[in-house]
Chains A and B, each alone.
Chain A
Amino acid sequence: EEEESGHDEL
Chain B
Amino acid sequence: NSLTQVVHSAGRRFIVSPVPESRLRES
- The answer to whether A and B belong to the same complex is no
